Amino acid sequence: MSLELALQRITELQTLLTPAPPATVAPQTTQTFSTALQSATTPASLSALPTSGGTNAGRAALAFAQAEVGQAEQPPGSNDSPRIAQYRQATAGSGVGPWCAYFVSWAAREAGTPLGDQGQGFGRVDDVWAWGQRTGRATPAASAQPQPGDLIVWDEHIGIVESVGADGSINTVEGNSSDRVSKRTYGPDGGGAIGYVRLG
């Protein structure tokens, strides 16, 4: 064995026998109660939302709506269930009945941007649209460029825009769609939507 090879082997053995330095431990950070509460009540889909288009309030409401997809009436056709009763609580004085406006009122309230001048929410689609017009948040469909988190309003129904495709198709999340919270896709006309209400 050559001297050079012997020295190389000794170096290898020393490396193997030398204990590894202790791992550095990152300093612990303390989490405030409010931070913990927010992370516990914010849906996981919020972190996956697009960071452009619409408003922060609209995207947050959308995240809450997306987390509810599949919630259904119990029994079917009843306009009720324990979860739908929670949606109704986002509106003042509402009873069991069509609940699409309850649902968007709930999602907006959960996002910290309740609908209505006093945050009372709305049980009727017409009232959401009238409020949107009065406060400058409503845009008629003919001149609108819908964004994620905008409320999409039809004559007797309402939902939340999830995304707009490159071809102009509009993807939504809607309460009381086939007796449940559902995702839907419409053409560029939004399936005959009358307009959009921007949150925030």
**Complete domains list, the chain, with CATH:** 53-197 (3.90.1720.10)
Distance CA 122, CA 133 (A): 14
Mean pLDDT confidence for 75-79 = 97
For tokens 């288009």, the residue is 53
Q: Is the pLDDT of residue 67 over 80?
A: yes
Minimum mean pLDDT range among 42-46, 153-157, 181-185: 42-46
Residue among 50, 59, 67, 56 nearest 103 (CA): 67
pLDDT of residue 116: 97
* 24: exposed, middle or buried (Cβ count in 10 Å: 0-12, 13-18, 19+): exposed
14-32: pLDDT as tens digits: 666 665 555 444 444 444 4
pTM: 0.76
Minimum mean pLDDT range among 41-50, 120-129, 148-157, 173-182: 41-50
114-154: pLDDT as tens digits: 999 999 999 999 999 999 999 999 999 999 999 999 999 99
pLDDT of residue 120: 97
Distance CA 29, CA 22 (A): 21
Q: Is the dihedral of CA 5, 10, 16, 22 positive or negative?
A: negative
Residue among 123, 90, 115 nearest 199 (CA): 115
Q: Please calculate the CA angle 96-44-63 and round it to the nearest 5 degrees.
A: 50
